Structure 1
Amino acid sequence: MAKMSIGAAFSETFAFLGANWARMLLYLGGALVAIALLGWLLIGSTFTSMMASPNDPSAVLGAFGKIFFFAIIAGAVMFAASLLVWRSGLVGGDPAADIGWSLGAGAAYVGAMFVLYIGAVIAMYIVILIVGLFAVALFGVSGLSPEIFMSGGVSGGLIAFGIIVYIAIIVFFLWLFGRLGVAGPWMAAQRRSNPFAALGASWKLTSASQWTIVGFNLIIMILSFVFLMVANMIFGGIAGAAGGVVGAMGSPGAGAGTILFAVVFGLLIYVPLVLLSVSTPAAIYRCINTDSNAEVFT
């Protein structure tokens, strides 16, 4: 492993983006189109059916089951496309021969992340319980009563305590995301399909630069937010029209023009953010990986 600087990470990010933008547009754009069409086929009428039977638990459960199934497939397809981009950009390879591997590895990774998500939720509730008990010990039960909150009589100490806990949770998840963030590029470079081995490798590789990675990811998030705000201002009229398009997609009679407009809108607004989000893990991996045999960004 090697230590990373934020400047080097930005340089590698834009180097990867510049060398692989056409490949990313092809793979990720194709994946987005496939996901949009798949969503139309799988859940196009789901919301309409659920609204038609609001008091039918089986209809609601069936709708959520379809949505969950679609989300898993969409995540696997998107991650598979990212693996193809990373492998081609980091070490070369034959995309046609890697499609089967990428789909299998993508499905395995999404499954592993779902398991980790469940574990993280359980751990978070345990932490919240411990923090709640600690708050009771500090401020007493009366200081946390609903009447206190409704009357606006919350103490300054409790407010400060809540802010500190909130910031600590955000920092923790930013740190965790940074520690596990190069699992995908590692899988691609090594052509591995075991997501847990990849997560372990990511944890090891990022140990020397973990807080630098957190800072870099935070800057990227801020820049992405600014871009999204500017894009929404520029394409405000299109965004308003897209709301009608999204609603129309839920109807059984949604036409090809409606689907095409939604796809084009997504490409214009969100694909640049997707390209950046795929480039940054590859850049971080390049900065902290000491394997000199890798032909990077070709």
Structure 2
Amino acid sequence: MNKMTIGGAFSETFAFLKANWMQMLLWVGGALILVGLLGYLFLGSTFSAMAMAPNDPSLVMGAFGRIGLFAIIAAVIFYGVSMLIWRGGMHPGEAPNFAWALQAGPALAFGMIVVMIAAYIVIFIVMLILTLIFGAALGGMGAFSPAALESGGAGAIGGGAIFVMIVVYIAIIVFMLWLQGRFIVAGPVMADRLTRNPVTGLGESWRLTGPSQWVIVGFYLLFTIGVVAYAIVAGMIFGGILGAIAGGSVVGAMLTMILMAALVYLPIMMLSFSVPVGVYRAIAPRASGDIFA
């Protein structure tokens, strides 16, 4: 395996996007339209009913159930589409394998959910231990209470508790970035090998990312900052222009939402789908046939 560089990862990411942008535009755009229509069918009447009776517990519970079901369906669609994009980009000319993608995509989603649940359990246990240790050292559990944190008279106790909390939160963010970096190429591995087994993808991703794990964290952090900056700037520019054109009408507002999705969120999604393959390309050994050259 290769030792990744941040420049190499960006280069491979944009190379994949450049070589497969038309395919990605069709798959991702189609998925967005399908998910949008399903969202309207699943949740449109639900939100209207909740607006009319916001204090009805049965409506609230039913809404959570429908939102959960819709989230599962949307995840199946987007993970399936991602598998089609990764497989098509790494093996150009091959016919789309819809049956495999609709099985491999949800399998990877389930595997990642299990990983995230395990990570949150670890975080909860660590935070509980740190709270007990530092809470006692800083004056008991009351040191972490809102009154202790807000009072200037708490002195070292309040300041120490705040410092510990800041350090813990930064550590959690770094840990989550690191964890995502270790499993970032699980999907491309499954697509490259045409497997439905998420354990294969997750295990191979863990092995491949080992030598470059902190470089991947740095790359992922820079990518996230860039995406957020683009979303803010593009949202302000296109939102202002489209809002002025819409003129406050209902049809205009709907058209604005559609165009905002196409101009702002669609490019972000396409680039996000390119990142895992870009990292995979940067760290995995070259195959006999050059992919998305």
> Does structure 2 retain, via aligned residues, the 8 Å contact 1:242–1:265?
no
How do 1:93-108 residues align onto structure 2 when only pairs under 5 Å count?
94-96=94-96, 98-108=97-107
SS in 2 for 1:293: coil
Indicate the residue corresponding to 1:290 in structure 2.
Answer: 285
- Report the CA distance between 1:28 and its aligned residue: 0.8
Indicate the residue corresponding to 1:280 in structure 2.
Answer: 275
Q: CA RMSD in A?
A: 2.5
- Report the CA distance between 1:143 and its aligned residue: 3.3
SS in 1 for 2:215: helix
Structure showing greater relative contact order (alpha-carbon pairs closer than 8 Å, 6 or more residues apart): 1
TM (normalized to structure 1)? 0.88
Structure 2 distance, partners of 1:24, 1:233, is 25
Is the counterpart of residue 5 in structure 1 residue 8 in structure 2? no
> Does structure 2 retain, via aligned residues, the 8 Å contact 1:185–1:281?
yes
Structure 1 distance, partners of 2:144, 2:247, is 44
Structure 2 distance, partners of 1:136, 1:85, is 49
Structure 2 distance, partners of 1:192, 1:13, is 23
Provide closer, same or farther for how the CA distance between residues 57 and 122 of structure 1 changes in structure 2, counting only shifts above 3 A: farther
Structure 1 distance, partners of 2:194, 2:37, is 29
TM (normalized to structure 2)? 0.89
* Partner AA of 1:272 in structure 2: P
Structure 1 distance, partners of 2:52, 2:176, is 39
Structure 1 distance, partners of 2:243, 2:67, is 24
Provide closer, same or farther for how the CA distance between residues 102 and 269 of structure 1 changes in structure 2, counting only shifts above 3 A: same
Structure 2 distance, partners of 1:296, 1:78, is 23
Structure 2 distance, partners of 1:151, 1:230, is 38
Indicate the residue corresponding to 2:23 in structure 1.
Answer: 23
Percent sequence identity is 49
Indicate the residue corresponding to 1:34 in structure 2.
Answer: 34
* Partner AA of 1:3 in structure 2: K
Structure 2 distance, partners of 1:84, 1:241, is 38
Provide closer, same or farther for how the CA distance between residues 237 and 258 of structure 1 changes in structure 2, counting only shifts above 3 A: closer
Structure 1 distance, partners of 2:110, 2:50, is 27
> Does structure 2 retain, via aligned residues, the 8 Å contact 1:148–1:154?
no
Structure 1 distance, partners of 2:204, 2:14, is 24
* Partner AA of 2:275 in structure 1: T
Unmatched runs of 5 consecutive residues or more in structure 2:
none
- Deviates further, 139-148 or 167-176: 139-148
Aligned residue pair count: 288
Unmatched runs of 5 consecutive residues or more in structure 1:
249-254
Indicate the residue corresponding to 2:124 in structure 1.
Answer: 125
Deviations 1:181-217 (A, max 9, x none): 1011111111111112211111111001000100011
Indicate the residue corresponding to 2:89 in structure 1.
Answer: 89
- Report the CA distance between 1:242 and its aligned residue: 12
Is the counterpart of residue 79 in structure 1 residue 103 in structure 2? no
> Does structure 2 retain, via aligned residues, the 8 Å contact 1:91–1:295?
no
- Report the CA distance between 1:11 and its aligned residue: 1.2
- Report the CA distance between 1:85 and its aligned residue: 1.0
> Does structure 1 retain, via aligned residues, the 8 Å contact 2:239–2:260?
no
